[in-house]
Amino acid sequence: MSDRLASWQFNTVGCWSDDLVASSGSQLLAATPTAALGASFRLHRRDQVFPDVFDPEFSAHIRASANLRCRHRRNDPGLLGTFIDNELYWSPDWRGTDELLTLFLNLPSRRPGKVAALSSLQAHYRDFAHFNAVWRTQARSWEELGRIEHVVAPFVRLRPGVLNDALETKANLADPAREAFSADCDAFVAVVADKYFELCVSAIRAADPNHLVLGSRFGYQPPAGVIAAAGRHLDVISFNCYEFDPGPAIDAYAATGKPCLISEFSFRGDDAGLPNTKGAGPRLATQLDRALAFEGYVAAALSKPNLVGYHWFEHADQPAQGRFDGEDSNFGMVTIDDRVYHELTKTMTQVNAAAERIHAAAVPALV
């Protein structure tokens, strides 16, 4: 498999790939594993959608995890870098409409994250009545708010993105209370992001100072404050993007000035005989359409100066019966019984071989 990937002009294996694939061929492929630091702490606590970065145990946990997952590869020439996590929940997206601020407000009593969320609101508002004019809770004091088991957000926001951001701005201009709520949520998630990236990057670098920290594989574009925090701490900002054109997403992350890595993208063909009912990304009619979509996507990505790489999802198709999470789609370069999709892999070979030339031609030379 390694030699075949190299023949298709791939030079890296993406997240969750088998290390033996990276090192077993005649040409070494760079590895990009994940440390899953925040995710492992969230599972450790079991009552958190997002890891409580204010919990004193968080720092100790991720340092121990980084030592376990990263230290043994600190001198590995085949390692490109390490992802911190995968698709954490930063703001409303396909998984729900909750804000990170309300999730932290609804943590169990006296949890550090709940205390931090309450403190951020108390520091901002002159008094409780001013706060409650915006949030419209049933509480009558800060103390009573801290005892409420489930704080309901007074507004539901769209997930971040160019078009949605414009709609949110319009809605906020029409309603000062909504604007204040949005500002509360954005301010808090920015603080959480800064603490998350600072602690996680520090933990990985303490265990492995010799390789890149590749980000946390954003599932969707997060709020601007999260992107800014990522830019302050990461070597590379990674994100998954299942659109036809990755340009707007790259622009959003490139505003930090940091290199950008597309850590996951794909297209599915309905002629593969698979259900294609679960899984991200566009469904297309044929394998030729998949090949053309790959070519257009990568060309658009390579036109961006900050782009340093792109990872395709995935090598082989998913089973028709569904994998562990039910995904049953034609994401592969080969079928589940290893028959090659020739239109797709031929196009991949040509585009990958020309990638550096395409990128250099599209990016203005520095003078």
In DSSP notation, 293-337 reads: HHHHHHHHHHTSTTEEEEEES-SBPPPTT--TT-------SB-TT
Tokens of 217: 């594989």
Tell me the CB-side half-sphere exposure of residue 243, using CA atoms within 13 A.
Answer: 15
Average pLDDT for 54-78: 97
Residue 273 in this model has a pLDDT that exceeds 70:
yes
Of the candidates 99, 85, 73, 71, the residue with the CA atom closest to the CA atom of residue 16: 85
Tokens of 13: 């294996």
pLDDT at 365: 59
Whether pLDDT at 36 is above 60: yes
**pLDDT at position 367:** 47
Residues in the chain: 367
In the predicted model, what is the mean pLDDT of residues 263-277? 98
Any idea which of 20-29, 105-114, 133-142 has the lowest mean pLDDT?
20-29
The pLDDT tens digits for 287-323 are: 999 999 999 999 999 999 999 999 999 999 999 999 9
> Which tens digits make up the pLDDT trace of 83-99?
999 999 999 999 999 99
For the chain, strand residue ranges (E) read 12-13, 30-31, 81-82, 212-213, 237-240, 260-265, 268-269, 283-284, 307-312
Q: Residues 297, 265: contact at Cβ < 8 Å?
A: yes
Cα–Cα distances in angstroms (integers) from residue 175 to residues 156, 170, 171, in the given order: 13, 9, 6
Share of the chain above pLDDT 90, in %: 92
| Domains along the sequence of the chain with CATH | 2-99+194-361 (3.20.20.80)
Please state the rounded mean pLDDT for residues 92-113: 95
Average pLDDT over residues 204-223: 98
**Structure tokens given for 355:** 């990638």
Give the residue-averaged pLDDT of 37-57. Answer: 91
- 57-70: buried (b, 16+ CB within 10 Å) or exposed (e) per residue? ebbebbbebbeebb
